[in-house]
Amino acid sequence: MGWVKSPIHKRAHQNKRYNTATMLQFKLVLLGDSSVGKSSIVHRFVKDSFDEFRESTIGAAFLSQTIKLEKHPDVTIKFEIWDTAGQERYKSLAPMYYRNANAALIVYDVTQPGSLVKAQSWVEELKNKVGDQDLVICLAGNKVDICDEDATAREVQREDAQLYAQEQGLLFYETSAKTGAGVSAIFQEIGERVYQKKGMEVPSSTQARKPLNVELQRPSTNDSTSCCS
Amino acid sequence: MERSGKIEHLVQRYGTREELIKRGVWRGELYRAEEATFLDRGWCWKTLLLDREDELLVTELVPVPTNFEDTGCNYAEAGRLGVRKLTTELVQDHPLMEEDDRLKESISVEETLDIVRLDISRLLLDPVFSDPECKAEMVQILYNYVAHNHTSYKQGYHELCGAVYLQMLEEEGETRKLNTLNIFNKLMAQVRPVFYEETALLQFSKQKFDAVFKLTAPMLRHLLTAHHGLDHAVWLIRWTRLLFLREFDTAYVLRIWDHLLTFTVPVQDLVACCTVVLLIAVTQDLYACEDQGEVISILLHYPQDKLINCVDLMKHSASLYELYVTRQYSDMRGLGENLCKVYNRSWYEKQTQVADHNRLRLEERLKRRVEQRLRK
């Protein structure tokens, strides 16, 4: 579970030697209260853009982005990102989105203390329902640009959130989707952690083409799904 | 053209509400090029939905409260502490196990208004919503809707209500609000219990939609659910809750809404059938997908160049519904096959000729990738 797709050891050269270029695909889900900036973080990461006004997410949005790991330049990671709505009250729909996720980015707004409380409830839910041994969880305090302009706007102290993250074994970052601060670092770090966590499961080159996840495997050659309707 | 001139033309042309439904909407006469200048959607929706005064939700709007001391809720305290409670706390037990989720929601008036205002401030349906007066009117309409129905507000209401409000813009202030509220209320009477109640939505996805899909396009359904392991609900939520508003351009969606608002077919059935037809129209694209992520990308970013004529879409959807309710299941499959052929012609013919379908899929995939690269 959690290993979204098998690593594909691409044949980089047509000589006798295969290099170790690896393409991995990870599922990441964003969770957090309404209007904390989840969609803005995703858009900063995927499109390197920011809109002051962004419409509420209904249900969920889906985007993907590919990065190379800085510490492992031969590893390319494709993030499949589920950006969920903040107002799913009883969260009975949320499991559909975090099921089989490799990573969760839980976002709060550093100017809204209530949003950290909500973030903590998401951490608990994930730990209870998914188990953090299968999941890399990152806590992100967004909108630090507001505090940079006006220090009195800060309602959640960095140290408090960081301490909570340490206690819970979470990655922790403060970000600004508006300026881009911390955004790419988060995805680099998550990518590294998931890669490390799952690296030991990477099959040897002889097994590399065999899909590991039955839900998301590539079409097999004897697939019967071949007619239109 | 003056509004009165448009309305006079529409009255003369259709005469009765029934004719407007039959010829104007379902036969698509309203959308013909020569008629386009006469289309006054606000008048059409009022004619469709506000003909009987006794069925109106309200005839007078109550103002939005500003004093929360007497509401019996303790949110004022939270407000003083600067704690914004946009969504309620996590509950321990699944609230849907015993009763409908709306019965358990105890969100206060003040909280509701906070969320509504936040959502309205992020409503990008039209630039008019950046105007403070429009925002205040929308808040009042949604407040009245929630209060009169004894329900709670959910994200998405604001967008549906906004789409109705836009059609009423030419009305006078108080009338504009009342008409928006009453039309929105009639629409929501069918939308809210199915698409905004979580258990009902999951049930719609697993039963109603899946049943129609399976009967109409079994192999396509197999591709999405069995092969790619996709749960319909993950993408259906947005399609259904916003009645396609985020999926297609507004002009196209409003034509779909014209059909929905005739209530000739129950909204949930028409939405289910409509969605199935829309999926069939992109069969070729879906078959070219390599994995679940690619499928989701298509479903949540529907290829606009594959949109079929809206009147045809609704006619096919209504036909599908007729076959479904009369249990003519084999004909549903025949219709599905035919639609697939019509809207994916070259691919359909090719796939009936080649023996190796996986090779064809690979070709489609490569073709799609090249097209994507060229677009970048």
Q: Considering only A27-31, A149-153, B74-78, which range has the smallest mean pLDDT? A: B74-78
ipTM > 0.90 for the complex: no
**Across A107-121, B67-81, B288-302, least confident range:** B67-81
Nearest C-alpha in A relative to B216: A229
Q: B231 to chain A: which residues are within 8 Å by CB?
A: 96
CA atoms within 13 A on the CB side of A22: 21
Sequence-separated (6 or more) residues with CB below 8 Å from residue B69:
B76
Q: Where are the domains of chain B?
A: 3-39, 75-188, 197-375
Q: Are strands A8-9 and A136-142 parallel, antiparallel or unpaired?
A: unpaired
Instruction: Give me B297's structure tokens.
Output: 């990308």
Q: What letter represents residue B87's amino acid?
A: T
In the structure, what pLDDT confidence band is assigned to residue B164 with cuts at 50, 70 and 90?
A: very high
Cβ atoms of A158 and A174 closer than 8 Å: yes
Concatenating the DSSP letter of every residue in B61-120 gives PPPPP---GGGS-SHHHHHHTT----SPPPPSS-TTTTS-HHHH----HHHHHHHHHHHH
Size of interface A-B (CB pairs under 8 A): 171
For A17, B197, B244, the CA distances from B258, given in Å and listed in that order, are 63, 24, 13
Task: Give the gap in angstroms from C-alpha A61 to the nearest C-alpha of chain B.
Answer: 7
B115·A87 Cβ contact <8 A: yes
* Residue B147 CB neighbours (<10 A): 16
The whole-angstrom distance between B228's CA and the closest CA on chain A is 6
Give the position of tokens 């409260």. B65
> What is the rounded distance in angstroms from the CA atom of residue B232 to the CA atom of residue B214?
12
| Side chain identity at residue B323, one-letter code | L
- C-beta of residue A43 within 8 angstroms of C-beta of residue A49: yes
* Closest C-alpha to A80, from A60, A102, A63: A63
Residues paired with A147 in a beta bridge: none
Contacts with A116 from chain B: Cβ below 8 Å: none
Class of domain B197-375: mainly alpha
- pLDDT higher for A179 or B68? A179
Q: Is B195 helix (H, G, I), strand (E, B) or coil?
A: helix
* CB distance A89 to B101 below 8 Å: yes
Q: Do residues A173 and A140 lie in contact, with contact meaning Cβ atoms separated by under 8 Å?
A: yes
3-state secondary structure of A60: strand
Beta bridge partners of A82: A29, A62
CB contact A6 to B (< 8 Å): no
Cβ–Cβ below 8 Å for A59 and B361 = no
DSSP letter for each residue of B17-76: HHHIIIIIIIT-GGGSTTTGGG--HHHHHHHHH-S-GGG-S-SSPPPPP---GGGS-SHH
Nearest alpha-carbon partner for B212 in B260, B265, B289: B265
Residue of A nearest to B214 (CA): A229
In this predicted structure, what is the pLDDT of residue A211? Answer: 32
Q: Measured between CB atoms, does A115 come within 8 Å of chain B?
A: yes
Q: CB–CB of A62 and B300 under 8 A?
A: yes
- pLDDT band for A217, please (50, 70, 90 cuts): very low
Q: Domain A22-203 adopts which CATH fold?
A: Rossmann fold (3.40.50)
Interface of A with B in 9-38 (CB under 8 A): 25, 33-35
Burial class (CB in 10 A: 0-12, 13-18, 19+), A171: middle
A153 — contact with chain B (CB < 8 Å)?
no
Q: Quick check: A219 and B361 CB within 8 A?
A: yes
Side chain identity, residue B147: A
> What are the beta bridge partners of residue A31?
A106
Can you give the pLDDT at residue B266? 97
Q: Inform me whether the C-beta atom of residue A90 falls under 8 Å from chain B C-beta atoms.
A: yes
Q: How far is A71 from chain B (nearest CA, A)?
A: 26
* pLDDT at residue A7, rounded to an integer: 40
Per-residue pLDDT tens over the stretch B237-290: 999 999 999 999 999 999 999 999 999 999 999 999 999 999 999 999 999 998
* pTM tops 0.95: no
Chain B's closest residue to A227, CA to CA, is B219
pLDDT at site A1: 35
Owner of token pair 């909204």: B267
Q: Which of B155, B214, B279, B364 to mutate to test the interface with A (most CBs of A within 10 A)?
A: B155
Distance CA B161, CA B134 (A): 12
Would you state the structure tokens that stand for residue B35, as one six-digit string? 């008629």
Chain centroid, CA B321 distance in Å:
17
Tokens of residue B74, six digits? 């303790």
- Domain extents in chain A: 22-203
* CB-facing half-sphere around the CA of B87: CA atoms within 13 A: 25
Q: A25, B291: Cβ pair inside 8 Å?
A: yes
pLDDT for B8: 92
Return the minimum-mean-pLDDT range out of A136-140, A170-174, B149-153, B345-349: B345-349
Q: Alpha carbon of B330 to those of A91, B174, B216: distances in Å?
A: 39, 52, 8
Contact criterion met (CB < 8 Å) for B96 and A90: yes
Q: How do strand A8-9 and strand A22-32 relate by DSSP bridges?
A: antiparallel
Q: Which of B94, B283, B293 sits opposite A80 (nearest CB)?
A: B293
Closest approach of A97 to chain B, Cα-based (Å): 7
Place of tokens 């949110």: B75
Looking only at Cα atoms, what is the longest distance across chain B? 74
pLDDT of A155 above 90: yes
A 162-181 near B (Cβ less than 8 A): none
DSSP structural state of residue A73: T
Contact across the interface for B234 and A5, Cβ inside 8 Å: no
Q: What span, in angstroms and rounded, lies between the C-alpha atoms of A52 and A209?
A: 44
Burial of A92: CB neighbours in 10 Å, binned 0-12, 13-18, 19+ = middle
Return the structure tokens found at B153: 């507000």
